[in-house]
Amino acid sequence: MKQRGRDSWRQRSAMLGVLVLLLFFRAASAQLRYSISEELKEGSFVGNIAKDLGIDLNVMKQRGFRIMSGSTESLFKVNENDGVLYANQKIDREQVCKESNVCLINLKTVLENPLEIHYVTVEITDLNDHSPTFPEKTKRLEISESSLPGAKYQLQNAHDPDGGTNSVQQYKISQNDHFRLEIKDRGRDGKTPILQLQKQLDREAKSRHKLVLTAIDGGTPPKSGTAEIFIDVLDVNDNMPVFTKDTYSAVVQENAPVGTTVIQLNATDLDEGSNGEVVYSFGSDVKDKIRELFDIDSVTGEITVKGHVDFEEQDSYDIDIQASDKGSIPFRTDKSVIIKIGDTNDNLPEIEVASLSSAVSEDSRSGTTVALISITDLDSGMNGKIISYVTEDSPFTLTPSMQDNMFAVVTKSQLDREQQSRYDITIIAKDAGEPALTSEKIISVFVSDTNDNSPKFSLSPYTFYINENNPPGASVFSVRASDRDEGDNALISYHILRNAGHENKEEGI
């Protein structure tokens, strides 16, 4: 095999057909050169050796023309009858010549008596019988979504055993929005495809891209080979948590047990891994008072009751909430949550006596006020709506006053001290809650006396006898009268009324 500079042979190697170069060594030596294409059928004509060397066919036979044995001997054979060199088998240029671009096979032919050696060189020209292939059919690349346009990523070279222009000449990348292909020409070391980012990637829009890289050789027709390029887009923390609702509000009943769920918030973050993990918390300005009443689960966003919520103390809360991701530079979103407290009937009506007469005169007209009371209930709605009354069997009743929640206890019939001088009035206040709560209060009213009873003698008339001759001053008889009234109204003085023809005169006894 003749080794010469590859480049100088490159053009010649492209030539097809039979090229004869004759160099005849007078000193019993000659050189012939043939050029055939690879992959010819077994038995294909290579050249007419007898004619080209000027050897008579008979002489050839007599002098035992042969190809000297060697590694390439079996590739060719000479027919002694016609002096033609034939291909003894199908010749694969890439197998015989491996890497080199120009493939020359040197044959030594011999004639005996006298010894004559002729050198015959057969050039095997290339056929485009191989497609470019990539060492790996699929290739993975990881590119951060923060990579800027212009960033370059070297891809694998395709390999094509064919020589010259039949080797890889160009690369193409499949249609896509983000990349273009650049080709670096390394001269004899071939061409290298380089992926260049043209438009920034967005993992949240598309996390994986698939490209097809095609290598094309320069044959006629050209052959090609492909490899798949998978690009995994690496996440950066470029999204903030977003609450799934614009506003959050909830109602929780007062006195709800600790642990009761009030509301569950939900924020999502399109980023991946810790960049997309959301943590919930109260805003930094949220007061301790609120933190004592409510709790927020940092993982689930669930707000629960932690303390005693009392409608009567505060009936709604407006709480700042934050959702943050766990990126190395976290993003944070603020939101406020309105929690309304629902009333439950947990307050008794309260009865208070504002004023109470020490006594009411028995001759008072009906409708006379004996007391003013106020009735309040801290609950709201039906829970705070009060019905109030006094127990039936009493000469008193309740009437509403001009003022809210104020009632007057008034007489509703004539009183009679002599019949009942003291009343214990039971006032009932009942709210309209479900179930209703009831309070009662007892007030005592005293009836004061008026002089509405006359003294009455124990007997009337009195009949008695008196002895004659009784000494003056001696007791003859006693009378007794009583008066149902009280105090001075019951003080009795006695007089004798004289008439019947005598002086008409009253006289104390």
Ligand X SMILES: *[C@@H]1O[C@H](CO)[C@@H](O)[C@H](O)[C@H]1NC(C)=O
CB-CB contact of 377 with 431 (8 Å): yes
CB of 443 to ligand X, least distance (A): 59
CB of 333 to ligand X, least distance (A): 14
How far is 126 from 39, CA to CA, in rounded Å? 9
Based on the shown chain and the rule CB under 6 A, indicate whether residue 413 belongs to the binding site for ligand X. Answer: no
How far is 211 from 91, CA to CA, in rounded Å? 38
CB of 267 to ligand X, least distance (A): 8
How far is 172 from 183, CA to CA, in rounded Å? 9
Tokens of 143: 């590119």
- In 475-494, which positions are buried (b, 16+ CB within 10 angstroms) versus exposed (e)? eeeeeeeeebbeeeeeeeee
Residues between 197 and 256 with contacts to ligand X, criterion CB under 6 A: 244
> 171 or 243: whose CB is closer to ligand X?
243
- Pick one of 72, 88, 266, 405: the residue that binds ligand X (CB under 6 A): 266
Instruction: Tell me which residue has tokens 């160099």.
Output: 23
> 244 or 438: whose CB is closer to ligand X?
244
Contact string 350-389 vs ligand X (x = CB under 6 A): ----------------------------------------
CB of 302 to ligand X, least distance (A): 9
SS3 for 442?
Answer: strand
β-bridge partners, 86: 45, 77
CB of 184 to ligand X, least distance (A): 46
CB of 264 to ligand X, least distance (A): 6
How far is 97 from 100, CA to CA, in rounded Å? 6
Other beta carbons within 10 Å of 271: 23
Comparing CA positions, the residue from 68, 48, 43, 81 lying closest to residue 118 is: 68
> 146 or 244: whose CB is closer to ligand X?
244
CB of 175 to ligand X, least distance (A): 33
CB of 320 to ligand X, least distance (A): 20
Comparing CA positions, the residue from 144, 130, 84 lying closest to residue 109 is: 84
> 278 or 386: whose CB is closer to ligand X?
278
How far is 177 from 259, CA to CA, in rounded Å? 52
How is the chain split among helix, strand and coil, in percent rounded to 5? 10, 40, 50
> 198 or 268: whose CB is closer to ligand X?
268
* Phi, then psi, of 158 in degrees rounded to 5: -90, 155
CB-CB contact of 2 with 105 (8 Å): no
CB of 244 to ligand X, least distance (A): 5
Q: What dihedral do alpha carbons 195, 201, 204, 205 form, nearest 10°?
A: -90
Site size toward ligand X (CB under 6 A) is 3
Measured over the CA atoms of residue 411, residue 417, residue 418 and residue 423, the dihedral's sign is positive
Measured over the CA atoms of residue 64, residue 67, residue 73 and residue 75, the dihedral's sign is negative
SS3 for 282?
Answer: strand
E strands, 344-420, in order: 350-356, 360-361, 369-376, 386-390, 396-400, 406-411
> 263 or 290: whose CB is closer to ligand X?
263
> 184 or 332: whose CB is closer to ligand X?
332
Q: How many residues does the chain have?
A: 509
CB of 301 to ligand X, least distance (A): 7
Closest chain position to ligand X (CB) = 266
Contact string 148-177 vs ligand X (x = CB under 6 A): ------------------------------
Contact string 287-306 vs ligand X (x = CB under 6 A): --------------------
CB of 163 to ligand X, least distance (A): 60
- Pick one of 81, 249, 268, 419: the residue that binds ligand X (CB under 6 A): 268
CB of 268 to ligand X, least distance (A): 5
CB-CB contact of 249 with 317 (8 Å): no
> 229 or 278: whose CB is closer to ligand X?
278
> 162 or 269: whose CB is closer to ligand X?
269
CB-CB contact of 289 with 231 (8 Å): no
> 70 or 273: whose CB is closer to ligand X?
273
> 270 or 348: whose CB is closer to ligand X?
270
> 243 or 282: whose CB is closer to ligand X?
243
Binding site for ligand X (CB under 6 A): 244, 266, 268
